[in-house]
C-alpha cells in the first residue's frame, strides 16, 4: 500500500503549468530592468531583450518537450543528459540544477521578497524575511504534498491577476513618459553589442523555469502529453506578460528613477498608484515572490532524489517519507539556501546562477541532436517544431551570450563554468570510490 502511494502520479497539467509560470514569473522581471538600464537606455532594445529572451526560452521549451515526452522521468537535466549524451554530463546538469538551479533562485526570490516587504514596512529586516520564507516553505513542502500544491495553485492565480492589474493600470496612466517602441538610429547596432548580450543573462534568468515541469515528470499525470503542453503554453503566456510589463515600467516611470535599483516594480507602482497604492502593490508583489520561492523549493529536492536513486554514494538523498517526499534532500537544499543567503549579494548569486544554467540548458538541447542520431527508433510522442532550426538557434544564441559574458564578466563566468566542471569531477570521483568499495 505504501509503495503504491509513493508511485502515484498526482500533479495535473494545471498544477504543472502553475509550477512553470510560478518559477518563471518572479524575481527576474521585477528586478532586471534597473540593472539593464546601466548598459541600455533606448526603449526598442530594452523591449527586444524580452522578446529575444522569450524566443530563446520558447525554443528551449520545444526541445525539452521532445526529450521529456520520450524520456518521462523526474530529474530534469540530470536524467535527460544522462540518457542523451553521457552520465557524467547528466550528473553535472543535475548538480547544477539541484544547487544553483533551484536553491539559488529560491534564495534570490526570497531576497527580493525581503526587499519589497522592507520597502513597504521599513521596520522589517530584509535578510530575516528572506531566511524565514525559505525555512517555512521547506517545512511545508517537506511535510505535505497536498498543502504545497494548494499553495502553489492559489498563489499562481494571485500572481497572474496582480500582473494583469499592473499592466492595465500602467497603460491608462495619466502622466506617461514620452517613449516610442520603434527603433531609433543606432538601436539595431545595440542589439549586437556586448551590453545587450550581458543584459540577456538577466533576461535569461527571468525566464528561468520554462523547463520546470520536466523536473517533476515522474509525478505528472500522463506526462507524454501534459509536459509538452505545460511547457509550451506557459512559456508563450509568460513571454507576452513580460514584454507588456516592461513596457509599462518604461511607459509609467522615468528611467532615471529605476537605474541600478532592485525593486523597480515598487518604484513604478509609486508612479502608477501613488504612495499608498504602491504599498498595496508592493504587498502583492511580495505574494507573487512567495509563489516563486515556493515553486523552486518544491522542485529542487526531486532532482537530488533521482540522483540518490542512481548513485549508491548519494543514496541517502533518495530517502522518502510516507507521502513520497524526499525529506533528506529537502534538508540538504535548506542548508545550501542558507549558505547563499549569508554569503553572497543578490547580483553575484544571479550572475553565477544565470551563467551556470545557460551552460546546462545548452548542453541539454545539444543532447536532442545526439539522441536523434543515437536512438532514431525511440518512441517520440512529441517532436520539436522547426527541427533542426529551432534547437540550433537556441544553442547559437546561448553560445553568443556566453561568449560576451566571458569577455566582460570573466570572474562570474569562470565561477559559473567552474561549477559545471567541478560537478563532472565529482561524478568521476564518486565512480572511483564505488570501484574501490567493490574491490
Over residues 382-434, the pLDDT tens digits come to: 888 888 999 999 999 999 888 888 887 788 788 878 888 888 888 888 778 76
- Looking at residue 44, its pLDDT comes to 92
Where exactly are the structural domains of the chain?
10-426
Distance between CA atoms of 186 and 44, rounded to whole angstroms?
Answer: 10
At 217, the pLDDT band (50, 70, 90 cuts) reads: low
- Looking at residue 399, its pLDDT comes to 92
The model's pLDDT over 117-152, given as tens digits with 9 standing for 90+, comes to 887 888 888 889 989 999 998 888 887 767 766 766
Higher pLDDT, 290 or 5: 290
Higher pLDDT, 5 or 220: 220
- Looking at residue 369, its pLDDT comes to 95
CATH of 10-426 given 1.20.1740.10, 1.10.10.10, 3.30.420.40, 1.10.3720.10: 1.20.1740.10
Distance between CA atoms of 416 and 397, rounded to whole angstroms?
Answer: 18
Nearest to residue 106, comparing CAs of 75, 80, 140?
A: 140
Residues in contact with 230: Cβ distance below 8 Å, sequence separation at least 6, in sequence order: 13, 16, 17, 19, 20, 213, 220
Measure Cα distances from 284 to 22, 55, 281 in Å. 14, 28, 5
The packing angle between helices 145-171 and 126-141, to 10°, is 140
- Looking at residue 265, its pLDDT comes to 81
Report pTM.
0.76
Amino acid at each position: 500500500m505504501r509503495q503504491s502511494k509513493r508511485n502515484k502520479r498526482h500533479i495535473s497539467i494545471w498544477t504543472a503549468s502553475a509550477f512553470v509560470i510560478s518559477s518563471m514569473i518572479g524575481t527576474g522581471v521585477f528586478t532586471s530592468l534597473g540593472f539593464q538600464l546601466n548598459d541600455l537606455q533606448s526603449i526598442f532594445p530594452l523591449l527586444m531583450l524580452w522578446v529575444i529572451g522569450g524566443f530563446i526560452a520558447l525554443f528551449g521549451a520545444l526541445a525539452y518537450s521532445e526529450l521529456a515526452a520520450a524520456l518521462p522521468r523526474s530529474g530534469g537535466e540530470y536524467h535527460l543528459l544522462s540518457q542523451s549524451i553521457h552520465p557524467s554530463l547528466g550528473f553535472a546538469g543535475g548538480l547544477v540544477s539541484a544547487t544553483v538551479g533551484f536553491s539559488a533562485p529560491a534564495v534570490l526570490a526570497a531576497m527580493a521578497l525581503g526587499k519589497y516587504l522592507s520597502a513597504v514596512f521599513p521596520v522589517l529586516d530584509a535578510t530575516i524575511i528572506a531566511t524565514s520564507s525559505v525555512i517555512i516553505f521547506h517545512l511545508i513542502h517537506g511535510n505535505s504534498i497536498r498543502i504545497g500544491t494548494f499553495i502553489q495553485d492559489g498563489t499562481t492565480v494571485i500572481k497572474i491577476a496582480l500582473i494583469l492589474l499592473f499592466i492595465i493600470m500602467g497603460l491608462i496612466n495619466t502622466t506617461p513618459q514620452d517613449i516610442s517602441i520603434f527603433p531609433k538610429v543606432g538601436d539595431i547596432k545595440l542589439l549586437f553589442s556586448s551590453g545587450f548580450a550581458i543584459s540577456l543573462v538577466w533576461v535569461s534568468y527571468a525566464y528561468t523555469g520554462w523547463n520546470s515541469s520536466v523536473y517533476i515528470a515522474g509525478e505528472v499525470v500522463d506526462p507524454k502529453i501534459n509536459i509538452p503542453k505545460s511547457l509550451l503554453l506557459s512559456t508563450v503566456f509568460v513571454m507576452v506578460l513580460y514584454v507588456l510589463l516592461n513596457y509599462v515600467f518604461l511607459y509609467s516611470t522615468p528611467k532615471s528613477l529605476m537605474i541600478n535599483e532592485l525593486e523597480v516594480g515598487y518604484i513604478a507602482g509609486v508612479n502608477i498608484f501613488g504612495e499608498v497604492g504602491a504599498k498595496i502593490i508592493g504587498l502583492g508583489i511580495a505574494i507573487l515572490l512567495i509563489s516563486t520561492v515556493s515553486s523552486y523549493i518544491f522542485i529542487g529536492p526531486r532532482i537530488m532524489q533521482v540522483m540518490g536513486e542512481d548513485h549508491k554514494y548519494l543514496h541517502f538523498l533518495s530517502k522518502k517519507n510516507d507521502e513520497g517526499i524526499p525529506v533528506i534532500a529537502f534538508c540538504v537544499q535548506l542548508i545550501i539556501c542558507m549558505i547563499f543567503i549569508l554569503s553572497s549579494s543578490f547580483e553575484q548569486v544571479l550572475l553565477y546562477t544565470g551563467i551556470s544554467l545557460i551552460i546546462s540548458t545548452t548542453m541539454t538541447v545539444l543532447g536532442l541532436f545526439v539522441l536523434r542520431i543515437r536512438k532514431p527508433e525511440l518512441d517520440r510522442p512529441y517532436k520539436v517544431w522547426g527541427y533542426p532550426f529551432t534547437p540550433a538557434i537556441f544553442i547559437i544564441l546561448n553560445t553568443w551570450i556566453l561568449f560576451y559574458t566571458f569577455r566582460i564578466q570573466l570572474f562570474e563566468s569562470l565561477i559559473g563554468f567552474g561549477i559545471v566542471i567541478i560537478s563532472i569531477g565529482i561524478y568521476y570521483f564518486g565512480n572511483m570510490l564505488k570501484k574501490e568499495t567493490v574491490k
